[in-house]
Amino acid sequence: MNEDSKTITLPALESALANDRLVYYYQPKISLVTGKPSGAEALLRWVEPDGTIIPPAAFIPLAEEAGFITHIARAMFPKLIADLLIINDVNDSLVVSFNLTAQDFESSEMTDLIRGAILSSQFDPARLQIELTEASIIDSGKPVVRERLQNLVDMGVTLAMDDFGTGYSSIDTLSQWPFKVIKLDRDMIRRMNDCPKSTAIVQSSIRMAHALGISIIAEGIETSEIYDFLMQEGCTEAQGYWMAKPLPMAEFLGFIKKDQRWSGLPVGLIHIAQLDHIHWRKTIIDQVVNRSFDNSGSSQVQRFTAELDHTKCRLGRWIFGLGKEFKGHEAFDQLEEPHHRLHEIGKELVAAAERNAPHAEMAVLLRELTRTSSLLLSLLQELENQAAF
Ligand code: C2E
Ligand code: MG
Ligand code: MG
């Protein structure tokens, strides 16, 4: 147990809140695609009159147990919004996240506060992100919590799953709740140093996030080696002491004004886009060939599962989503046309297979498909070369 937590009582915490002793510190997040700050996480600190700083681990569990956490969240929210407006004036592309618990959504007050701030303030709701741990969602388990969160998501706020990888059935929750971001837990990142299994879990979590079309941020980056590793693997953002510790508001503003840059080598992302495309091509060719060239007499009709809409396949979601970071690179700007064409050929192929078109006709289409696919892959390769230097 922490030194401070021995003496912390609920009345002391109530008095600290009433006397404005709780403040937000801001820990910068860095985009691994651009190498520039992309946002910050607001983290509570209790600052005593003598300057002593009490960390959240010393009072959040007590506040949660006593049901006082929602009072803190509500009382701190206007301060967060005031800070957010200042931060946005310095850099209007940053996303500020803050931590809530599912308890905060069991009544409508928190949702009303957030909705009110969005409706009355001059900030883009996409600049506000809520971090929730899966544990708190499971503990709450109330359908109304999900409804309220969905309402906020519909207004443009993003939702991040905090401490991903710390147990529970995260994948199930991810598919049922409107999370747009996964935050890899800092203990799992730390364990990568001496546990190959943790490394494999981190790598596959990154792949899974891309497959689901959501962003992935790693916290607890303490060395340049871990930073570089995550960047190569296609993780999209990073937060950790190696770049910056949580900073008081004034220092945080100084930090973003400095316009610092870390490395941003987005080859991991491009590599995943290449793999996604190869997977798509393999699926469609397999299915079309099975249907058209199958002489087994099987009565089972082949279903076509490859995504035919060029904006909805994984590569398409990347081109119109995270990939947009590469706009202006010649190879990226040339991708869209052949990718669209590829899907038109895909549709023709599926239609031809369904009407049992002659093999010669199928072969022409298949060749056109693979030719266009090679062109796409060479553009992605060129982009990788351009982006790396
Ligand atoms: P969290 O939301 O997972 O926040 C990340 C924690 O990791 C922060 O600890 C941050 O200082 C720490 N951290 C970031 N980078 C590194 C690193 O490189 N190395 C190490 N060792 N640690 C790093 P902090 O500020 O002590 O907060 C701890 C937890 O307290 C938070 O974990 C969050 O669960 C909770 N918390 C903080 N503020 C609030 C709040 O406003 N409301 C609620 N409900 N919980 C909060
Ligand atoms: Mg957090
Ligand atoms: Mg966390």
| Span between the terminal Cα atoms of the chain, in Å | 49
The residue type found at 123 is F
Give residue 267's pLDDT: 65
Ligand 2 centroid, distance to 43 Cα (angstroms): 8
C-beta of residue 164 within 8 angstroms of C-beta of residue 132: no
Give residue 322's pLDDT: 76
How is 89-143 classified by DSSP, letter by letter?
HH-TT-EEEEE--GGGGSSSHHHHHHHHHHHHSSS-GGGEEEEEEHHHHHHH--H
Give residue 1's pLDDT: 41
Six token digits for residue 149: 């969160």
Ligand 3 centroid, distance to 245 Cα (angstroms): 14
Give residue 4's pLDDT: 46
Give residue 317's pLDDT: 87
The residue type found at 366 is L
Give residue 195's pLDDT: 86
C-beta of residue 25 within 8 angstroms of C-beta of residue 250: no
Q: Which ligand is nearest to the CA of 219?
A: 1
Give residue 175's pLDDT: 80
Strand 181-184 vs strand 128-133: parallel, antiparallel, or unpaired?
Answer: unpaired
Number of residues written out for the chain = 389
Count the Cβ atoms, other than its own, within 10 Å of residue 235: 28
**Predicted confidence band of residue 2 (pLDDT cuts 50, 70, 90):** very low
Mean pLDDT estimate for the chain = 89
Return the ∠ at Cα 340 (arms to 336 and 343), rounded to 5°.
Answer: 145
**pLDDT(302) > 90:** no
- The proportion of the chain whose per-residue pLDDT surpasses 90, expressed as a percent, equals 63
Nearest-angstrom CA–CA distance, 320 and 348:
23
For 244-248, 269-273, 294-298, which range has the lowest pLDDT when averaged over its residues? Answer: 294-298
Nearest-angstrom CA–CA distance, 227 and 225:
5
C-beta of residue 229 within 8 angstroms of C-beta of residue 184: no
**pLDDT(6) > 60:** no
C-beta of residue 26 within 8 angstroms of C-beta of residue 80: no
**pLDDT(240) > 80:** yes
**Predicted confidence band of residue 56 (pLDDT cuts 50, 70, 90):** very high
Nearest-angstrom CA–CA distance, 3 and 5:
6
Give residue 166's pLDDT: 81
Nearest to 44 by CA among 65, 30, 66, 62: 62
How is 4-50 classified by DSSP, letter by letter?
GGGT--HHHHHHHHHTT-EEEEEEEEEETTTSSEEEEEEEEEEE-TT
How is 266-277 classified by DSSP, letter by letter?
THHHHHHHHHHH
Measure Cα distances from 365 to 257, 277, 284, 342, 386 in Å.
Answer: 54, 18, 12, 10, 31
Six token digits for residue 3: 């030194």
Residues 87-100, mean pLDDT to the nearest whole number: 95
Backbone angles phi, psi at 42, to 5 degrees: -80, 125
Kindly tell me the burial class for residue 330, based on how many C-beta atoms sit within 10 Å of its own C-beta (0-12, 13-18, 19 or more). Answer: exposed
Mutation choice for ligand 1 from 219, 225, 239, 243, CB with most ligand atoms inside 8 A? 219
**Predicted confidence band of residue 266 (pLDDT cuts 50, 70, 90):** low
**pLDDT(139) > 80:** no
pLDDT in tens, 206-228: 988 887 878 999 999 999 999 99
Residues 252-271, mean pLDDT to the nearest whole number: 83
Which is more confident, 131 or 264? 131
Measure Cα distances from 328 to 273, 322, 334, 337 in Å.
Answer: 18, 14, 10, 15
Closest ligand 1 atom, residue 239 Cα:
15
Dihedral-angle region of residue 46 (phi above 0 means left; psi in -120 to 50 means alpha; beta otherwise): beta
pLDDT in tens, 14-55: 999 999 999 999 999 999 988 899 999 999 999 999 999 999
Nearest-angstrom CA–CA distance, 325 and 327:
6
- The proportion of the chain whose per-residue pLDDT surpasses 70, expressed as a percent, equals 93
**Predicted confidence band of residue 295 (pLDDT cuts 50, 70, 90):** low
Mutation choice for ligand 1 from 186, 189, 227, 245, CB with most ligand atoms inside 8 A? 186
Q: Which residues form ligand 1's pocket by a CB distance below 6 Å? A: 27, 43-44, 55-57, 60, 69, 98-101, 131, 162-163, 186, 219-222, 239-241, 246
Q: Which ligand is nearest to the CA of 100?
A: 1
Ligand 1 centroid, distance to 44 Cα (angstroms): 8
Residues 179-183, mean pLDDT to the nearest whole number: 93
Give residue 5's pLDDT: 46
Closest ligand 1 atom, residue 43 Cα:
38
For 120-129, 234-243, 262-271, which range has the lowest pLDDT when averaged over its residues? Answer: 262-271
Backbone angles phi, psi at 97, to 5 degrees: -105, 155
Closest ligand 1 atom, residue 163 Cα:
3
C-beta of residue 120 within 8 angstroms of C-beta of residue 64: no
**pLDDT(188) > 80:** yes
**pLDDT(142) > 80:** no
Residues 119-129, mean pLDDT to the nearest whole number: 90
Nearest to 83 by CA among 63, 98, 100, 99: 98
For 116-120, 147-151, 157-161, 314-318, which range has the lowest pLDDT when averaged over its residues? Answer: 314-318
Nearest-angstrom CA–CA distance, 303 and 1:
58
